[in-house]
């Protein structure tokens, strides 16, 4: 079970949603490069790591949330997870990586088109 930061708007992706996503992606993410933008609870990223993802980048700007993610990463010994404390939109603009799976949970519709435009270049 993952710990969740006590921060307004941070909540784990519901079990039913995660189940549906991983049924769609497949149970084994061996060799996949994943990124969890606006990571929040980190549920999607941690689950990807547990399903064998080659690498998982988790991007979160909120300090309290980031510290909880760091603690969970250490507790789980998840070496394939890389935590980035940065604005997700800025990270996508600067990052040269390509990803097989992108998890994107937005709290605000106003940045939706901006982030979608930015991430199209990162998809493998």
Domain borders along the chain are 28-108
Please list the pLDDT of the chain residue by residue as tens digits (124 residues): 555 545 555 556 667 776 877 778 777 889 999 999 989 889 889 999 999 999 999 999 999 999 999 999 999 999 999 999 999 888 988 888 889 998 887 665 566 666 776 766 666 6
Which numeric CATH code is attached to 28-108?
Answer: 3.40.50.150
Q: Which of 93, 89, 90, 94 is nearest to 104 (CA)?
A: 89
Within 10 A of 57 (CB to CB), how many other CB atoms are there? 21
Given a contact cutoff of 8 angstroms between Cβ atoms, the answer to whether 38 and 60 are in contact is yes
R_g (Cα) of the chain, nearest Å: 13
Q: Cα–Cα distance between 86 and 37 in angstroms, integer?
A: 10
Q: Cα–Cα distance between 83 and 80 in angstroms, integer?
A: 10
């Amino acid at each position: 079970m993952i710990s969740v930061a006590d921060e307004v708007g941070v909540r784990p992706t519901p079990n039913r949603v995660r189940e549906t996503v991983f049924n769609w992606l497949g149970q084994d993410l061996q060799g996949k490069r994943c990124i969890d933008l606006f990571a929040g609870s980190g549920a999607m990223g941690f689950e990807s790591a547990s399903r064998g993802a080659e690498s998982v980048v988790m991007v979160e700007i909120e300090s309290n949330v980031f510290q909880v993610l760091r603690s969970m990463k250490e507790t789980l010994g998840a070496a394939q997870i890389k935590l980035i404390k940065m604005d997700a939109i800025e990270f996508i603009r600067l990052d040269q990586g390509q990803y097989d799976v992108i998890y994107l949970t937005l709290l605000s519709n106003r940045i939706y088109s901006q982030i979608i435009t930015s991430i199209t270049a990162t998809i493998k």
